[in-house]
Structure 1
């Protein structure tokens, strides 16, 4: 019998799944591999794997699959939302492919998985910091995702009425 995971462990596993989803979406784009091949590779060789260089974090496989699947299924809508959040001179196909993968993963959670937008934004800003430690991209990611989320889920940003 597996030990029960604490709430912190579950949160960390979901965070790791988000990082893996961005990596998987990036890998799909640059390699042309199918979603099935990529998810199988990640589940077999990344989630909790130990190598000479170190150990990969354990992730939530179901959450990983849901993000990657939704990103693929909703890619056109997510890309349109992202395009509208970007400056006109920088359509999504001109930005860094890691950022493109990140916007698609975050967009999947906001558009299809009912993750609260503020949670998704915070989580993916942290993912951006993992890929781009100097911080500039994290601010950019925050601004783009805030715009994307406000367009996709405006009801999540309405202040509650005072009683």
Structure 2
């Protein structure tokens, strides 16, 4: 049972990154994107037999909502964690969505910062299996986590 809950939370984080990416690209509202994901992606089974994981709906909603509500703060945290040559506008939109989702959870979430970091580094590695993005994400999220919840370190 605990493993299922953990998998659902991991899936919710992945879906949140995808939803935030899609929101940025399409200009859709958080409500429209949330409805689409909850109605058509969570647990969906496609014709080719691909089955999408069931996500923790509450966590997905919280991350997407908090990412939108706290976007300016999260983007500023991310910007401070990036080297001067890499303003947030220059980074890959997938990573920008990932930092926003992770930042939302670091600011408003209940999970320990180290769990959030591990989860989102795994998501980065899934999106960029050949690259160095996992190490990059780890460094940025570590900086953001220490700013958001210094008492956890």
Tell me whether the two structures share a fold, i.e. TM-score over 0.5.
yes
The match for 2:19 is 24
Which secondary structure state, in structure 2, belongs to the residue aligned with residue 114 of structure 1? coil
Structure showing greater radius of gyration is 1
Gapped runs of 5+ residues in structure 1?
A: 1-5, 158-163
| Structure-2 residue corresponding to 1:38 | 33
After superposition, what is the alpha-carbon deviation per residue over 1:2-35, rounded to whole angstroms, capped at 9, x for unaligned?
xxxx000000000000000000000000000000
Aligned equivalent of 1:96, options 92, 95, 98: 92
TM-score by length of 2: 0.97
TM-score (norm 1): 0.92
Corresponding residue for residue 133 of structure 1: 129
Matched, 1:142 2:118: no
For structure 2, which runs of at least 5 residues remain unmatched after alignment? none
Aligned with 2:80 (options 74, 77, 84)? 84
**C-alpha deviations, 1:8-66, integer Å up to 9, x for none?**
00000000000000000000000000000000000011000101131110111111000
1:3 is aligned to: none
CA RMSD of aligned residues (A): 0.7
Moved over 3 A (4+): none
Answer yes or no: is 1:111 the counterpart of 2:125.
no
